[in-house]
Structure 1
Amino acid sequence: MPDKPAPSAALPPGQPCGASAARFENGKTFKMVVTRAGQIQTTNPLRPLTPEMNEVLLVVIAGKVATAYGPDFTTLRRGSAPSAIEAMLGGPIKWQPSLPTLPDSMTIVSEEGAPLAQLTFRACETPPAVKAPKAEARKKAPVRRAPPKAAAPKTPPGFSMPQGAIAE
């Protein structure tokens, strides 16, 4: 029996990246690093027997965390925090334990469908550090006062109501 080749410690030149992150770039200076991938299942009320699956990627762009989501990896929409995507699509994101095989190129589109960026896979790398949000100086919250109670309706002069005639 021939000996099996020893597995190399380095990742293969292509994908999948596994536990590390995948870096995608365009020809310019735009860089997106995919750190997690998951899916969200939604039910269309017009087609309740065929649930829709949306791909969700947790990405880091310029040191800030964002999401990209869509029905497949060819047309992803840019998104905000994962919790906002869950609230918008109406279901929880099921994150995968490691990155799946991603396509060699991805297109990020706007809500109207216009392409924003065409990105191609460059390399697997360690997940980048994320910038912490700026700490804003906390101002003392203004005191909120209860609105003044409306005055009891006054009865016209010459008209008297017996006490207890109207329940409060």
Structure 2
Amino acid sequence: MNRNQTKKIVFTALMASLTAAATMVIHIPSPLHGYIHLGDGMVLLSSFILGPFAGAAAGGIGSMLADLLSGYAFYAPATLLIKSLGAFLAGILYRRASSKNQGAGFKLLPVLSAGTVCSIVVTGGYFLFESTVYGPSASVVNVPLNVIQNLSSLIVACSLMPVLLRIDELRGFK
């Protein structure tokens, strides 16, 4: 294993931990036993910085750990799948969109487009999961709350991404 692989593993574990912590710090319960949090901002940042595969691992595992540690174990398997898929797709889209605009530095459009795709996947994924468990009419209640959470995640990612891109150690993951 070379130095870059080791560094990527360490940063993946770090982002999983930060995702779990950000999810658990601000924790506002929603009507159907879920909760609103800022952890999805870390899920997005994981996919942007680490790429689709490691970002999906960090975002999915960190979010799942937060569910397990916060008493939402019932949601943990769905969270792992939904957040991993959202981060994976966001990572792919971010890489493609930012490779078209060569040059270092923060680019708003790739972050917003990838974040929007992730938000749609996460909101839709939880709607499908909760529809299966609680029924479609009951699960509609959480959709606006998920949208608010996803908007706050985009704000977190857009705010932190320019700062993080200045750190040499965080650039260059593929």
Would you call these one fold, judging by a TM-score over 0.5? no
TM-score if structure 1 supplies the norm length?
Answer: 0.28
Point out the structure with the larger helix share: 2
Point out the structure with the larger strand share: 1
TM-score if structure 2 supplies the norm length?
Answer: 0.27
